[in-house]
Structure 1
Amino acid sequence: MSVRVRRVYEPPESEDGTRVLVDRLWPRGLAKDAARVDEWPKGLTPSTELRRWYHAGEGSYEEFARRYEAELAEPEAAELVDRVRELAAKGTVTLVTASKNLEQGHAAVLARLLQS
């Protein structure tokens, strides 16, 4: 199983496999055909409350990851996680996001969860 994380603004690569947008909103200034997004499961994104809490600097990345994983365990999100796992079992999945910080963002948490 191969799960990658990339910025959606980077040009698609042949190694990307299935490209899954993991942001709730469409990336600003990016044409849909240029993004080459195959799936857009909005239910995989952190809740608005959690996102605001984290970006306000109120908690650590570790606490954000713990809370986000708890959200992903909820039934609706868990179904979407399973769907992306199924895609990854068939080939590479690239989680794409507009976030600048790939190492400490929600896409990194989701990638770790998918690979576990």
Structure 2
Amino acid sequence: MIRIKRAYKEAEDTDGYRVLVDRLWPRGVSKEKEHLDLWLKEIAPSNELRKWFNHEPDKFSQFKEKYLIELNAGEANDACQRLIQIINKHPIVTLVYGAKDEVHNNAVVLQEMLEKVNQ
């Protein structure tokens, strides 16, 4: 099972293996309080794509297309393979992200892509 959760929500035992999937550490969140098993920066959108998207919902479909292209190349693809291995080892994996928008963010795209891969 692959879940997503904002970094600002309390970590729970039911989260399973917790992976931060942002390139930047969430503001105002202490590393101790976050209870992460892994910070996988390389799987996050590139700085250029992140800045271009700027969490604008009207750009989300284009962002998703561009992000999926990034995930199939270079270090992002290596990070995807690592995350797939983690998902295969752990019954529950929670992708942790910092964005305010719970619908239009990279974790949503990742979750959808990973669920398709793991079918």
TM-score, normalisation: structure 1: 0.91
Superposition pairs for residues 59-78 of structure 1, below 5 Å?
60-78=59-77
Superposition pairs for residues 1-116 of structure 1, below 5 Å?
2-55=1-54, 57=56, 60-90=59-89, 91-116=91-116
Paired with 1:102 and 1:73, the residues of 2 have a C-alpha distance of 24
| CA-CA distance at 1:12 after TM superposition | 0.7
Amino acid at match of 2:115: Q
Paired with 2:34 and 2:2, the residues of 1 have a C-alpha distance of 18
| CA-CA distance at 1:75 after TM superposition | 2.9
| CA-CA distance at 1:56 after TM superposition | 7.4
Could you report, residue by residue, the CA deviation over 1:3-47 in whole angstroms, capped at 9, with x for unpaired residues?
A: 111011111111111100011111111111100011111111111
Gaps of 5+ in 1: none
Paired with 2:34 and 2:73, the residues of 1 have a C-alpha distance of 29
Paired with 2:115 and 2:102, the residues of 1 have a C-alpha distance of 16
Gaps of 5+ in 2: none
